[in-house]
Amino acid sequence: MDRDLEKEYRRLNSQVRRQTRNAVKIKEKEVAKYVNENPKVFWKYRYVMSKTRTKSRIGDLFKDMGKSEKATSDKEKGDVLSEQFAGVFIKEPDGDSPPAMVPQEMYRGGTTQKVHDKIRKVLQRLKKNKSPGPDGIHPTIIKELIEQLMEPLRILYSSSLQEGEVPEDWKTAHFTANFKKGDKCDPGNYRPVSLTSVFCKMMESQLREEIISHMKENKLFSNKQFGFISG
């Protein structure tokens, strides 16, 4: 290699490395500055992940109670966890179904504008850094379309309550298994966390507010009830 050409190469190489290090520092400062507002970016940032020694990947799991055989492939592990979670799921006995719903408007006596205001309030509370559900609709897109979505959501939510049904897509969820404690090979030591549609969670939030408000107005809460109540 020509000495002048090699010298120029080394100069450019040093310049690129210096600019790269400066860019990394700027990115780290930006992530640290907004860590309280968007912690997910901090934990997903490649620098933090590169410094993490432990991995979140689920290891081999026992297939049977006798712990004689282990599931090693991702499909086998998924089947083992699915069977475990289904086995502990509480199934209501036949004939003990909840009371039938009485068709009614979502907000009794509420004008369309009031309903829109309540939906807008829920939409504005959405966090942009949250993950989308199985439908792939990200909260960031929803927040950008608040005004356009209020009327379709009012119709959808009201229809769902009147008919006592929810869209089939809302019954689908992505779930991940979180390890709690004990032997990591024991599938019974994992708990499922479900990720459902953002629109479904919004409706659940609205329903909860209406139920809590009704309970408080009619003094239906016990004086010993402290959990799951604001304040």
In a domain? residue 36: yes
Q: Is the pLDDT of residue 55 over 80?
A: no
133 in the same domain as 208: yes
In a domain? residue 138: yes
> Which pLDDT does position 109 carry in this prediction?
46
114 in the same domain as 43: no
In a domain? residue 231: no
135 in the same domain as 39: no
The distance between the two most distant Cα atoms of the chain, rounded to a whole number of Å, is 89
What are 78's two structure tokens?
Answer: 């998924």
> Which pLDDT does position 19 carry in this prediction?
93
134 in the same domain as 178: yes
Give the list of residues 6+ apart from residue 126 with CB closer than 8 angstroms, or none: 139, 142, 143, 198, 202
Compute the half-sphere exposure of residue 184: CA atoms within 13 Å on the CB side of its CA. Answer: 8
What are 211's two structure tokens?
Answer: 């139920």
pLDDT band at 24 (very low <50, low <70, confident <90, very high): confident
Window from 55-64, 95-104, 158-167 with minimum mean pLDDT:
95-104
Total number of domains constituting the chain: 2
Q: Is the pLDDT of residue 103 over 60?
A: no
- Per-residue pLDDT, averaged over 95-104, amounts to 60
pLDDT band at 1 (very low <50, low <70, confident <90, very high): low
Residue 228 CA to residue 58 CA, distance in Å, equals 32
What are 228's two structure tokens?
Answer: 């799951």
In a domain? residue 60: no
Model pLDDT for residues 126-151, shown as the tens digit of each residue: 888 788 889 989 898 998 899 999 89
Owning domain of residue 40 = 3-51
- Per-residue pLDDT, averaged over 103-116, amounts to 63
**Angle between helical axes of 198-217 and 146-163 (0-180°, round to 10):** 70
- Per-residue pLDDT, averaged over 83-94, amounts to 79
40 vs 147, which has greater pLDDT? 147
* Angle ∠(105,204,130) on CA atoms, nearest 5: 140
In a domain? residue 59: no
45 vs 225, which has greater pLDDT? 225
**Mean pLDDT across the chain:** 82
Window from 16-30, 100-114, 143-157, 184-198 with minimum mean pLDDT:
100-114
Ordered DSSP codes for 68-125:
--EE-SHHHHHHHHHHHHHHTS--PPTT-PPPPPPP--SSTT--HHHHHHHHHHHHHT
In a domain? residue 230: no
86 in the same domain as 14: no
19 in the same domain as 83: no
> Which pLDDT does position 22 carry in this prediction?
92
196 in the same domain as 154: yes
Q: Is the pLDDT of residue 18 over 90?
A: yes
168 in the same domain as 117: yes
In a domain? residue 224: no
- Per-residue pLDDT, averaged over 201-212, amounts to 88
> Which pLDDT does position 209 carry in this prediction?
86
Residue 160 CA to residue 137 CA, distance in Å, equals 20
In a domain? residue 66: no
Distance of CA 66 to the CA centre of its chain: 35
85 in the same domain as 43: no
Q: Is the pLDDT of residue 163 over 90?
A: no
